[in-house]
Structure 1
Amino acid sequence: MDKESYEKRVKKHLENVIVNYRTTISATSASVVGTLVGYPFDSIKTRMQTYNYGKMTNCIKLTYRSEGVRGFFRGVCPPLVTVSIVKSISFSIYNRSKDFIDRFYDSKSLYGLTVSSSAAGAVSGYVSAIISCPLELIKMQRQIEQLLVRQRQYSTTSLQTGINIFKANGIRGLYRGFLFQGFRDAIGTGSYFCAYEITKKLLTLGDRESTHVTHFFAGGFAGIASWICIFPIDLVKSKLQIDVKSKNKIYKSQLQCIKQIYKTSGVRGFYHGISSCLIRAFPVHALNFVVYEHVLRLIKKLEHESEID
C-alpha cells in the first residue's frame, strides 16, 4: 500500500468517526466554551445560595479580596472534563429520545414540537443526573472550600474531596440531594430544550434557515426560562449537598430544608441568588447553542463533501 492510499484511508476513517459522533463532538465543544464563560457566575451562585452575602456585589468583592481571581475559577478543571461528558450524554439521549417520540407526534407543529422536546429533555435530564449528581456535589464543595478552612475540612483536589465525602458518608453521601437533582434536571432539561426548539422555530417562520443569531437568542432564552423554572429546586439541592461536608449537619431531610428556608426568608428565600444565575444564563447558553449548531453544521458539511468524493 503506497503512502497516498494509506493517508486517504486514514482520512476517510477519521471523517467517519467525526460524522458518527457528531452530537458528542458538537456538545463537547459547546460545553468547554460554556464552562469557561459560566463558571465564575456558577461559583457566585453557589456561594450566594449557601452563605449570607446579602448582595451579589458583596459576594464578588469578598471573594476577590480573600481569594483573588482564582477564587472564581476554583475547581474549574474537573468540570471541563465532567461537564463535557455529561453534556454529550445529555444531548445524545435527547436526540435519540426525540427521534423516538417524533414517531407519535408531528414535530413540525408547535404542539408536537412542544411535547417531543419537553419529554425527550426530561428523559435526558433525569438519566444524566445519575452521572452528574456526585460530580456536581464535589464541584460545589470545591467552590466553597476556602470558606470551610476554619473547620479544617479543606481538600486540595476534587478527587480528595470526593474521597473525603465517601469516607464520611459512603455512596449515599455522593448522592445526597439526588432526589432534588433528578427532579430539577428532568424539569430543567425538558423546559430547556423545549424553549430552545420553540424559540428557534418561531424565529425561522416561513422556512427560513436558522442562523447564528437565531441560535444565540434561542439559546439565551432557553437558559433563562429553564433556570426560572428550577431555581427553587436547585437552591434546596445546593443546601443539602453543601451540608453533607459539615460536621454538624443542619438539615436532616429535604422537607426540613424547605421549611427552614421558608421560615427564615419566605417565598423570596427560594430565589436567593437568582440574579447572578440569570446574568450567567443568557450568554452561557446562547454561546452553548451557537457553538453546538456551528460545529454540527461543519460536520454535516464534511459528511456531504465526503459523499461527493
Structure 2
Amino acid sequence: MSVSISSPPTTALKPVPTLPPSENKANQKKFHGFVAGVTSGVTKLVVGHPFDTIKVRMQTSGADRFRGPWHCLTETIRKEGPRALYKGATPPLIGWAFMDSVMLGSLSYYRLILQGGDPNVRLTPFWSGVAGIGAGVTVSFIAAPIEHIKARLQIQYDAKTKLYAGPIDCARQLVRNNGVTGLWKGLSATLWFRSWFFMWWCSYEIYATQMRKYTNMSEAAVNFWAGGLGANTFWVFAFPCDVVKNKIMTQPDVKNPPFPSMVSCFKHIYRTDGLKGFYRGFLPCLLRAFPTNACALTSFELTMRWLRKIDE
C-alpha cells in the first residue's frame, strides 16, 4: 500500500494512506449496482404501475366485484378515469427507485462476494439465485412499508372507500393507530415472498447464458429477453405469496384483524376460493412482469456498463 506524506516547511503532518488505483476501482464497483438500480426503479414505475394497480385490485377484491382483469381495467377507467391506474404511484416513484437501488445494489454486492471479489468470474445459476435471496431479504425491510401504503391507496375505489388523502396521510394514520411498527405489517409475508428472488436470478442467468450461446442477439437484447422471462418465472412461483402479502396489508386497520398470521390468511383464501384464489390477478401480473422487468433490467445493465466504461 502506498503512503502519501505532506510536509510543509514548518509543520510535519502524519502520513495519510491512500488506496492503490486497483483497490479504488474495486470499491467504486461495489456501488455501481446501487446507482444503476435507481434507473431500474424509475423505469419500472412508468411501465408497470397501471398493471400493478389492476393486479392489487384483483387480489384484494371479491370474485363478485370484477369478472376479470379486462373488466377491472375498463371499470376503473370508466368510473375513476385513466389517472386512477396510477393511484398510489407516489410511494413507488420514490420507493421503487430506492428499492431497486438497494435490491440491485445488494445483489451486485453479494455477487461480488461470491465471486471472490473478481467481477469477471461468472457465477453458476444456483449461486446467482443465492445472491438473489440475499438481495430479496435485504430489500424487504424497505419494501414492506412502501408496498403497504401503496396497496392501501390502490384499493380506494371511490369516496365511500377513501380513507386516506394520500401517502403521507396513510402513513400518519397507520402510525397513529398501530405505532411505527404498523407500517411494517406484512413484513414476514414480504420476506417470504421476496425469498423467491432465487428463482428470478437463477432463471435469468440460465436464459442469458443460453441466448448468448445460441443466438446472435446484442447484449442489450439478451438483458431484455432474459430479464422479462426471468421475471415471469419468478411470478409463477411467487404469486400465491404475493396474494397473501397484499391481503394481510390491506385488511381493516383494527386491533383484531381477520388475518393475524400468514397461515390464517392462507386458510381463508383456500376456504373461500380454493386454489384459484391464490392466482386472482395473475394475468395482469404476468402481462406487467415481462415488459416492466425487461425494460428495467435493460436500463440497469446499460447503466452498469456505462459506469464500468467511465472507470476504465
**TM-score normalised to structure 2 length:** 0.83
CA pair 97-213 structure 1, distance change in 2 beyond 3 A: same
Answering whether residue 77 of structure 2 is matched by residue 68 of structure 1, we say: no
3-state SS of paired residue (2:253): coil
Rg (Cα) greater in structure: 2
Determine if contact 1:191/1:225 at 8 Å carries over to the other structure. Answer: yes
1:50 pairs, out of 60, 74, 98, with: 60
CA pair 43-209 structure 1, distance change in 2 beyond 3 A: closer
Aligned residues: 283
Tell me how far 1:119 sits from its aligned partner.
0.9
Answering whether residue 160 of structure 2 is matched by residue 164 of structure 1, we say: no
Q: Which residue of 1 aligns with 2:18?
A: none
CA distance in 2 between partners of 1:256 and 1:86 (Å): 29
Answering whether residue 258 of structure 2 is matched by residue 253 of structure 1, we say: no
Answering whether residue 297 of structure 2 is matched by residue 289 of structure 1, we say: yes
Q: Which residue of 2 aligns with 1:11?
A: none
For 1:64, the aligned partner's letter is I
CA distance in 1 between partners of 2:132 and 2:29 (Å): 23
Q: Which residue of 1 aligns with 2:233?
A: 225
Tell me how far 1:296 sits from its aligned partner.
1.6
What is the alpha-carbon root mean square deviation over aligned residues? Answer: 2.6
The 5 A counterparts of 1:21-32 are: 21-32=31-42
1:212-252, Cα deviation, whole Å (9 max, x unpaired): 21111100101101111100010011001000436984323
CA distance in 1 between partners of 2:214 and 2:86 (Å): 44
CA distance in 1 between partners of 2:89 and 2:45 (Å): 8
For 1:163, the aligned partner's letter is R
Give structure 1 stretches of 5+ with no counterpart: 1-15, 305-309
CA distance in 2 between partners of 1:51 and 1:251 (Å): 15
Determine if contact 1:22/1:299 at 8 Å carries over to the other structure. Answer: yes
CA distance in 2 between partners of 1:165 and 1:150 (Å): 19
CA distance in 2 between partners of 1:244 and 1:191 (Å): 32
CA pair 38-273 structure 1, distance change in 2 beyond 3 A: same
CA pair 237-19 structure 1, distance change in 2 beyond 3 A: closer
2:157 pairs, out of 111, 125, 146, with: 146
CA pair 65-206 structure 1, distance change in 2 beyond 3 A: closer
Q: Which residue of 1 aligns with 2:50?
A: 40
The 5 A counterparts of 1:144-293 are: 144-147=155-158, 149-150=159-160, 154-187=163-196, 189-205=197-213, 211-245=219-253, 249-293=257-301
CA distance in 2 between partners of 1:79 and 1:54 (Å): 27
Answering whether residue 312 of structure 2 is matched by residue 299 of structure 1, we say: no
Tell me how far 1:294 sits from its aligned partner.
1.3
CA distance in 2 between partners of 1:293 and 1:178 (Å): 29
**TM-score normalised to structure 1 length:** 0.84
Determine if contact 2:140/2:191 at 8 Å carries over to the other structure. Answer: yes
CA pair 293-165 structure 1, distance change in 2 beyond 3 A: same
Q: Which residue of 1 aligns with 2:129?
A: 118
Determine if contact 1:29/1:292 at 8 Å carries over to the other structure. Answer: yes
CA pair 159-142 structure 1, distance change in 2 beyond 3 A: same
For 1:94, the aligned partner's letter is L
Tell me how far 1:35 sits from its aligned partner.
0.9
Give the structure with the larger helix fraction: 1
3-state SS of paired residue (1:150): coil
The 5 A counterparts of 1:98-109 are: 98-103=111-116
Percent of residue pairs identical:
28
CA distance in 2 between partners of 1:208 and 1:103 (Å): 30
Tell me how far 1:18 sits from its aligned partner.
8.6
CA distance in 2 between partners of 1:262 and 1:103 (Å): 45
Tell me how far 1:143 sits from its aligned partner.
1.0
For 1:295, the aligned partner's letter is T
Tell me how far 1:161 sits from its aligned partner.
0.3
CA distance in 2 between partners of 1:258 and 1:208 (Å): 45
3-state SS of paired residue (2:155): helix
CA distance in 2 between partners of 1:24 and 1:55 (Å): 37
CA pair 29-259 structure 1, distance change in 2 beyond 3 A: same
CA pair 94-18 structure 1, distance change in 2 beyond 3 A: closer
3-state SS of paired residue (2:185): coil
CA distance in 1 between partners of 2:99 and 2:289 (Å): 18
3-state SS of paired residue (2:163): coil
